[in-house]
Structures are given as structure tokens and as C-alpha cells.
Amino acid sequence: MVGHGSYRRKPKDQERAWWIRVRRWRCQACHRTTSCLPSFLLPWRHYLVWVIQEVLVQRLEVEGSWAEVVAGCSDQGLPALRTMQRWVAALADQSPDWLLAVLAELANQDTKSPWLEPRGPTVLGIRPSTTAAQSLLLASLDLLAWAKSRWRELAGYGVADRLAFLGHWGNGRGLGRLV
């Protein structure tokens, strides 16, 4: 890989935006280019990953109404309700494929994971009405716990970093967009 310039990106939180440079790389063998996003960004999204995760957790795990999500996650109208709804819808669309990939990884690496319980998710205390998106957020905790035991670089990652970890993990496996 050879340095191939950079591009500007304007990530936002609920209050302001920053300009950063994202480095691009070019493979000398296949001539394709790629970027190395910092861990606080997800591909194709303008908001910081912790803002997106907070919305997803409030809507899917806490099961808050949209009014509660807006009250807890939006400051001065940012992010907008429609933006938050798109994040939840995008996760819902991608979750089935991503959940299968996470479960396959857990099956290969952590055979004692409760997610591999043959009697189904109700043994884990998960209601039968739980969506794939909700299950993916929960299973990402087990995947992160396994990954932390394998890679020292992840030692500082916690619950608040699971979406960033999951996004980068899946992107490295060609799963595409998560949110």
C-alpha cells in the first residue's frame, strides 16, 4: 500500500462539526484505493459513532419512543429525527446478514458463547419478539469480549465502543454498511 493523498471529512456530534483529513492508500498490485477511517467514524455517515450508537441503544435496547429518543439524543435539533430514523432503518436492513456473520464467528472462535445455545434465544432471556437489530446489538457484546481477549489493542474498548468495533470488524469481512 502506498499513500495516495487524503480527503476532507466533516464529522459531527450533537453540537458542532470538525474538519479532519482522512488518509487514502493505493494497492500497487490491484490499483484499488482505500481509506483508513478513524475508530470514531463509520463509513458513509457524517455523525460520530457514539452519537449513532446512543440513538440505536435508546431506540432498540431501551425501546424508547421516538419522542424519548429525540429528547435524550438530540440537542438543538441535531441529529434530526429523520436522520435517526434512517440509522435505525439501516441497521434493521443490515442486521440479518451481520447477525449471521457474528454468530458464525462466535461459533468458530468461542464455542461457549451463550449465543450458540441450541434451545434458542429465550434461554438467554431474549424475548421471541426481539428483532435481528436488537439481537445484533446484544451479540456484539460477546463478539467484543472475545476480540478483547485476542487483540491487546482492544483492551480499552467497552460497551460504549461496541458499534465502532462491530462496524470495523464487519467492514474487514466485506459485510458492507452496518448503519
- Residue 108 confidence (pLDDT): 87
- Residue 119 confidence (pLDDT): 54
User: What is the total count of domains within the chain?
Assistant: 1
Of 8 and 56, the structure prediction assigns the larger pLDDT to 56
Of 18 and 160, the structure prediction assigns the larger pLDDT to 160
Q: Looking at the domain assignment, is residue 7 inside a domain?
A: no
- 25-40 burial: b if 16+ Cβ within 10 Å, else e: eeeeeeeeeeeebeee
Q: Looking at the domain assignment, is residue 11 inside a domain?
A: no
pLDDT exceeds cutoff 80 at 124? no
Q: Looking at the domain assignment, is residue 154 inside a domain?
A: yes
pTM, 2 dp: 0.81
- Residue 118 confidence (pLDDT): 61
Q: Looking at the domain assignment, is residue 71 inside a domain?
A: yes
**Domain residues for 79?**
41-171
The residue assigned the cell 449513532 is 52
Q: Looking at the domain assignment, is residue 131 inside a domain?
A: yes
